[in-house]
Homo-oligomer: A and B are copies of this chain.
Amino acid sequence: MDTKTICLAVLSQSDATGYEIKGVFEEGPFSYFQDVSFGSIYPALNRALEDGLVSVTELPQAGRPGKKIYAITAAGRDALCDTLRKETAPDRVTCDFLFKALFSHLLGPVATNAMVDQRLAELNEHIDRPEGCGGGLEQLEPREAFVFGFGHAIHSAMRTYIEENRDKLLPADGDIGRTISTEAAD
């Protein structure tokens, strides 16, 4: 989703600074499917301000650059709803992992196993970390629980699939891949 929409969506929940907007999708239960950087947030907020989609209250702070607390306007809310109704970008399961798996014969069994183990470790980290949301898991609203649970379900399915099928990525010779072969480690 484009940065402008992300900003408007966060602001539709509560007023926030650019810094805080980044935090919503950087940590917490929703970090797994969106990503934003300051380099796109701040320009997006300024553009939204020019377009009257948000308003800003500046509160100066000692030393630090003044906090700019953004709030969504009625026009912003309309624009957000419009976008949510229109956009129907097809979903993407874009992981480089699959790409590498498809060409795992070029990697060799040792590097392939290492890659698979790493991917499983990443998945486990995500799955076994329900605290990721900052301790407020039980307070999630149903639709938030839906999104959080979606990630959990999908990552679990990935783990299961990988565990059950990883042998397909290795030569059929038996336990070559499990043993340290003569292949040079990278």
A residues with CB within 8 A of B? 1, 5-6, 9, 12, 30, 32-35, 77, 80-81, 84-85, 87-107, 111, 115, 118-119, 122, 142-147, 149-151, 153-154, 156-158, 160-162, 165-166, 168-169, 172, 186
Show 10 A/B contacts (Cβ-Cβ < 8 Å), sorted by A. Answer: A32-B93, A80-B106, A84-B100, A84-B106, A85-B111, A91-B122, A98-B147, A102-B147, A146-B169, A150-B161
Find out whether the CB atom of B154 lies under 8 angstroms from the CB atom of A161: yes
Chain A interface mostly helix, strand, loop or mixed? Answer: helix
A5 neighbours in B (Cβ, 8 Å): 99
Find out whether the CB atom of B95 lies under 8 angstroms from the CB atom of A33: yes
Knowing A33-B99, A154-B161, say if A81 contacts B93 (CB, 8 Å).
no
A153 neighbours in B (Cβ, 8 Å): 157-158, 160-161
Find out whether the CB atom of B94 lies under 8 angstroms from the CB atom of A34: yes
A92 neighbours in B (Cβ, 8 Å): 33, 35, 92, 94-95
Complex CA–CA separation, A90 to B95 (angstroms): 7
A73 to chain B minimum Cβ distance, whole angstroms, is: 15
